[in-house]
Structure 1
Amino acid sequence: MDTNTFDWQLFLTRWSEEWADSRDDSEELRSDDVEAQRRRWLGYSPASEADIAALEQRLGRALPSSYREFLRVSDGWRHAGQFVWRVAGTEGAGWHEDSFGLGADFDEFWGEEGNPPHVRAQVGLWSRALQVDAESDAVFVLLDPEDVGPDGEWAVRTWAGWRAEEPDRYPSFAHFMVAMHQEFHRHRTPADGAPPFVDDTTRAQDAAVGRARTAALRGRPEEAAALLDEAKRYGRPGAADMLRQLNRFGQGRRATTTQPLPDHPRFLTELLPLYAADVTSGGHGRVDHLGDPGVFPHSAQASAEILREVREGTYGYRPGGAFGEAVDEAREAARWGDSAEAWRILRAALPLWQPLDPDHIAPEGLFADVLLAPVLTPERCRELLATPRGGESGPAPDPAPATQPDGLSWVLRSEPGVEPPFKTFRMVLVEGVSPGGLPGLLGGPDPAPLAPPLRRWDLRRHHRPGQTSFSSDDDVVLLHVGRAGEDWSFAFDGDMLSGLQAEWFVSPAPAASAGGRRAIVVWCDQRRNAPVFHLSVAQDGVLSFGFTVRGTSVEDRTGDVPDELAPEYLGFGAPESAGHRPAALHTLDVLAEQYGVGLPRTALHHGRLHSFEGAPWIRPPRPGEPHATLSFIRHR
């Protein structure tokens, strides 16, 4: 908004006429409101130059331009929005001077060290501000003479104690009045059974919502968001819903969600799963009543099933149609950790996606899917919004640049100021077997079936529920599984309690390689003063080579170790133990390159994967060998 060219006469005249036309016959009006409706004018007579000059002399300084221009058209205003019943003119405006004693508490809070500059700048507001609310529902309207923009305008701050929020800020008085005009429209709700209130403003904003819908479906989200943001301020139907969908793809699953109601066309397919996922992952709200047949008899059974799946971490998005078939296919890739393939499938199917109602502009139900939500990186969300869909056409976006293969070393690599994803881990990479076949190779004589996809921090609670006893010879091997490359699978344990004991360690590589396969085993433990790294490679049930490095010492070197994987070539054995991590990283990079393998960063670090409890990698103690058991007693 250019406050220098703002047409106050046109703006205030239109607002007055809209207010007069929107009055309900059942409303009781005050006597001055009756006159305002008759005259179709919410304002007063213009302030004279002498009136304005007298106010500026009383204040001791010149008024900001937009407030002065307002006064030249109307010396005050009635009904600025819903809660400011009268804006002061030249007679009523004056310095607030902290007349309610609010300054001390606010200044202490605003002035706290560590607050951002825009918060600290509010210190002293209550003492210095020009107050222009003459009558309101306990709402203060304050012009701040020390918050001045490049155009010379004073910022306006409004605050109401019953909102329990920080003051709202507007760049100028003109911006404040436009916002109050928008608030007036948001609260123009007709009586039950009455037709909706329509005028030139609502028609223009509804047309903007229609243009925004088309722009969104044609892959122009920025254009759509700009139109919807203004339409939402006017309270136009559909604007907030569509803007929320765009924002969710910009912010991820935790975008703000309000409780949906069962009569919404997207209640079961998208809104309820999203709301339940937000609430159960730490958001605010309640969900149980949505599955209560006494409250919602027609939708309760289906709602209860969805709520159960969300709580158990098994919910899958079911949009139906051709796009729904692609979602099923993408979920199959995601459950084995292949996020790139899952996204490729979704991306190719996006033009087939169809909305369920006129305000539906994106498949946001993907964020409730426990397997596919982690696939939606910020880059992929932007690509999704830029892809034409829902029957609209337009230029397709260039695919996001292909990311480098995840490789192996990311699990141990730290960024500046950030700990590595895993300080300790062990893994088995097996060629020629699907992830579902790994329990038969690594699960011992009586392997358990794969568990449903779980997050890494849920493994122990799922596989060892209620465990209270821990033994030094009880090696709990909880393995996530997935695809590690073309014709390779992985089993990964990143939450070990036991450490590698060289004299008791039994590499699972030979067992995993039985039947003509190749298998690679890595055990890395960086928690100790003397870090440990083990590598063993087997083929067709026979150990080909292996070694263990403890601190700076190379132990248990076995077989014909290739030159490129020799401990001394990799950097192990350096005098400083600090060289152990670079050598381990080097080893992981060589393995990834030599064998064409990698671990899926997104799935292991943020997503869910199938898992099973493997056979121990530490043999039981022999007679006379010491071991200990630690037990905990649970008190209720």
Structure 2
Amino acid sequence: MTDTTAFDWRPFLLEWSAEWADSLPDDETRSTDDEAALRARWLGFPPASEERIVAMEERLGRRMPPSYREFLKVSDGWRHAGGFVWLLAGTADARWHRNESGLADMYEEYLDEDAGPEERREADIWRRGLQLDVESDITHVLLDPEDVDEDGEWAVYTWASWRAAPPERHANFHAFMRDMHREFHSLRAHRYDGEPVFANDTTRKLDAQVEEARLEALRGGWERAGRALAEAKEYGRPRAAGLGHQIRRLLGETHAVDFDGLVTDPRYAPELLPPLMAEHAAHSYRDDSTLTFHLRGAGDDVVSLAHTTLDQLRNGTYRYAAAGPFGEAVERARELARWGDTDAAWRALRDALPLWEPLGPDHLAPLGWVADPLLGPLLTAERGRELLSTPRGGQQGEAPRPTAGLDPGDLAWLAERDPGNNRTSYRFVLVEGVEPQELPGRLTEGDGTVLNTPATAWEARARALRDRRESSSHDDRALMAVGRAGAGWSFAFDGDPAPFNRWRFVSPAAAASAGTRVVVVWSGLRAWHGEPFFHLSVARDGAEEYAFTYTDGEVRSSGEIPRALDPDRFFGDAEGGAEAERPLLEAVTGEFGVRLPRHALVRGRLHTFTTRSWTRPPGDGETYTVIRIGETADPVEGTVAPDPRS
């Protein structure tokens, strides 16, 4: 509980008055009242006596709230409350609004029959509120006698039509006046030609607070720094917003984060332009007309860099770079993320943070990496807080407790529901002793297929559909993401496979296993359509060692299956289905010591390629459809024919 009645109004109002007087240009034309206020260095009026206050209360039929009452005892009204209220009511001018503005009718028009008490209360304030604005720029100030706290304080509501926002609530009259003092400062901080430098005890104190907040942020105390910067920003202090935006961006916030002019400084542009341009690219739909707003005041070099960075972000070629040991860690992290080990990539960045150096005195943390296609997906809210809590830039502090990894280190996570419950079928190939970039040579026809540039699953599928010129109802060529699957293993993963057809399915395990061992898993135990199924096959040196397929409630197997993978353990006594998926995946994990990187597959970007078909060639007499799309948008051609290889 805050005892607002204990606030000493006089020093605060005297300080405000002096700041106002010192901020006025000498040659400005002023009203008679403002000239008198300037000479007296006092924006207020003589104090109201207790008798005068009681008379006002009797006129209005209510005892005034404590903080407004105490204010009146120091000044019976106020000039220039903020930037848009030129005269604030004292005992003579305060009156019930009684919908004088007609705003109650306007608000009630927009209420529907489901409107709650709070919405109706907001509309009714224009009937019950005590009006304090006497002269203003179409700005209303109302004390609400029905919004009362435990101290008897009434909330204050302000509203201006030109702000295009709902009424703003202030906890009490004291809070309202504090906010108006901040508004006055914020407006004066933006100095125009001919105006005196706006410097006073308040600005000097806040500027020192900003500098201490910067050092505190570099020491890892981002929460304290954030609060101090937010306060200074409300007063319009330079540097406060630009520094605060850096903290907000690393917490995952993007709304109204533009780094407040720092982005146009050539020193900081390489770090701050990429996240700003990434946000623009995500929401601009190729309309770059708003770039001039973000780049106002920028030199030609910065504007050119902005457009270059935007082009790179749109075509996926942007690469974050940093100097020194931290830059070396960035390269290691990118290589790890490239093959799916996002937890190790994050550790590489985190461990090098103490070695990071700012580009200048207004740089709090590395930021360009959040726009990097490979590194950006590493950022989570928890990791953002961990980064901000890590001492850096030559400052000392206590290192934070490391955040938990995002990958469970197994295969069993595939049995969990994803947010949209879309992962009901998937397949993957695990190859031992082979690097991920070698997988196309084992899972394609050996036609020189190379890996596509890293992309999200959605981007990769969209690109594949856009580039596809031919498809066959008989072929099942998988678009697979690749990476490392643990010590000594690589994977190829397809999270959106075609329907499983056990009569035509051919496991790629044997063909891919020359000189090594290959594991193939295809699960549809939670498939929306058709019978649940599960396939496992293991091959070594070009020959299948063992395999089983569960479908139609039956298991078909071959070879000597290890006890840990025996399908009878999973499908023996029960009907089989989704309940068998997790233990099956746990068994595969235990047997081969493999894992799949959940975060990289779900949120990250990985290399992809298209495999050879997972189905056998058509037999004699079997027909299939081939659809070819001409490069010049020729009509689709449908063909039904026997297998041309028969």
With the length of structure 1 as denominator, give the TM-score of the two structures: 0.92
Match of 1:392 in 2: 395
Match status 1:33 vs 2:34:
yes
C-alpha separation between the residues in 2 aligned to 1:543 and 1:95?
A: 89
Q: Partner amino acid for 1:150? A: E
Aligned to 1:598: 595
Does the 8 Å CA contact 2:129/2:143 hold for their aligned counterparts?
Answer: yes
Q: How many residues in Structure 1 have an aligned counterpart in Structure 2?
A: 626
Secondary structure (helix, strand or coil) at the match of 1:157 reads strand
Question: Deviations 1:218-272 (Å, cap 9, x if unpaired)?
Answer: 0111111121111111111111111111112223556733685774135531222
1:286 pairs, out of 278, 281, 288, with 288
What displacement does 1:522 show?
Answer: 2.7
Corresponding residue for residue 383 of structure 2: 380
Match for residue 358 of structure 2? 355
Corresponding position of 2:245: 244
Instruction: Give, in whole Å, the separation in 2 of the partners of 1:419 and 1:209.
Output: 44
Does 2:575 match 1:542? no
Deviation at 1:37, TM superposition (A): 0.4
Cα distance, 1:571 vs structure 2? 3.9
Residue number in structure 2 paired with 1:17: 18
Please give the per-residue CA displacement for 1:328-375, whole angstroms capped at 9, x wherever unaligned.
Answer: 111111111111111111111101111112121111222111111211
Asked whether the 8 Å contact 1:260–1:271 carries over to 2, the reply is: no
Give the Cα–Cα distance (whole angstroms) in 1 for the partners of residues 302 and 604 of structure 2. Answer: 30
Pick the aligned partner of 2:341 from 301, 323, 338.
338
- The alpha carbon displacement at 1:630 in A equals 6.4
| Residue aligning to 2:77 | 76
Amino acid at match of 2:432: E
Structure 1 residues 397 and 295: CA distance shift in structure 2, 3 A: closer
Note if 1:122 corresponds to 2:125.
Answer: no
- The answer for unaligned runs of 5 or more in structure 1 is none
Distance in 2 (alpha carbons) for counterparts of 1:262 and 1:15:
33
Question: Cα offset for 1:27?
Answer: 2.3
* 1:487-541 deviation line (CA, Å, top 9, x unaligned): 1111111123x21111111101112222133433334361314122211122222
Deviation at 1:166, TM superposition (A): 1.8
| 1:253/1:368 contact within 8 Å kept | no
SS at match of 2:528: coil
**Bigger CA drift: 523-532 or 123-132?**
523-532
Which stretch of structure 1 is more off in the superposition, 427-436 or 523-532?
Answer: 523-532
CA spacing shift, 1:336–1:96, aligned 2, 3 Å:
same
Q: TM-score w.r.t. structure 2 length? A: 0.90
SS at match of 2:479: strand
Partner of 2:367: 364
Which AA in structure 2 matches 1:286? D
3-state SS in 2 of match to 1:146: strand
Q: 1:617, CA displacement in angstroms?
A: 0.7
SS of 2:580's equivalent in the other structure is: helix
8 Å CA contact 2:273, 2:368 repeated in 1: no
Distance 1:411 1:202, change over 3 A: same
Letter in 1 for 2:13: L
Secondary structure of the residue that 1:91 maps to in structure 2?
Answer: coil
SS at match of 2:539: strand
SS of 1:66's equivalent? helix
Partner Cα separation in structure 2 for residue 304 and residue 119 of structure 1? 45
Deviations 1:197-223 (A, max 9, x none): 110000110111111011100011111
Report what 2:517 is aligned to: 517
SS at match of 1:355: coil
Equivalent positions of 1:383-422 (< 5 A) are: 383-402=386-405, 405-414=408-417, 418-420=419-421, 422=423
Q: Secondary structure at the match of 1:134?
A: strand
Structure 1 residues 168 and 454, CA gap change in structure 2 (3 angstroms) = same
- SS of the aligned residue for 2:454 comes to strand
Are the counterparts in 2 of residues 289 and 295 from structure 1 also a CA contact under 8 Å? no
Q: 1:466 to 1:101 in 2, by over 3 A?
A: farther
Evaluate the alpha carbon distance shift between residue 344 and residue 38 of structure 1 in structure 2; reply closer, same or farther with a 3 A threshold: same
Q: Is the 2:281–2:310 Cα contact (8 Å) retained in structure 1?
A: no
Instruction: Select between 171-180 and 444-453 the one with higher mean Cα deviation.
Output: 444-453
How big is each residue's C-alpha offset from its partner over 1:369-422, in whole Å with a ceiling of 9 and x where there is no partner? Answer: 11112112222211111111011111212222456634223233127xx44361
Amino acid at match of 1:442: L
- Which runs of 5 or more residues in structure 2 are unaligned? 636-646
1:613 and 2:615 correspond:
no
Secondary structure (helix, strand or coil) at the match of 2:238 reads coil
Deviates more, 1:394-403 or 1:196-205: 394-403
How far apart in 1 are the matches of 2:531 and 2:204?
Answer: 73
Aligned to 1:7: 8
SS in 2 for 1:486: coil
> Are residues 260 and 530 of structure 1, via their aligned partners in 2, closer, same or farther at CA, if it must alter by over 3 Å?
farther
Percent identity (aligned)? 47
Kindly state the Cα deviation for residue 66 of structure 1 after the two structures are TM-superposed. Answer: 0.9
Which region of structure 1 is more displaced relative to structure 2, 207-216 or 591-600? 591-600
Supply the RMSD in Å over aligned alpha carbons: 2.7
Per-residue deviation, residues 567-621 of structure 1 (Å, max 9, x unmatched) = 231247733xxx5112122211221222221111111111111111111112232
Structure 1 residues 216 and 429: CA distance shift in structure 2, 3 A: same
| Aligned equivalent of 2:323 | 320
The one-letter amino acid paired with 1:608 is R
The Cα offsets for residues 105-142 of structure 1, whole Å up to 9 and x where unpaired, read as 42465677487x76565242222222211111111112
The answer to whether the 8 A contact 2:132-2:142 is kept is yes
* Amino acid in the other structure paired with 1:179: D
Q: Pick one of 300, 308, 312 that aligns with 1:309.
A: 312
Secondary structure, in 3 states, of the residue corresponding to 1:589? helix
CA contact (8 A) 1:43 1:74 kept: yes
Match of 1:298 among 298, 301, 305: 301
Answering whether residue 96 of structure 2 is matched by residue 99 of structure 1, we say no
CA separation in 2, counterparts of 1:262 and 1:242? Answer: 11
Q: Distance in 1 between matches of 2:242 and 2:66?
A: 37
Structure 2 counterpart of 1:264 = 265
Question: What corresponds to 1:55 in structure 2?
Answer: 56
Instruction: Verify the 8 A CA contact 1:140 1:158 in the aligned structure 2.
Output: yes
Structure 1: how far apart are the matches of 2:95 and 2:567?
80
**Aligned partner letter, 1:170:** H
How far is the alpha carbon of 1:550 from its aligned partner? 2.1
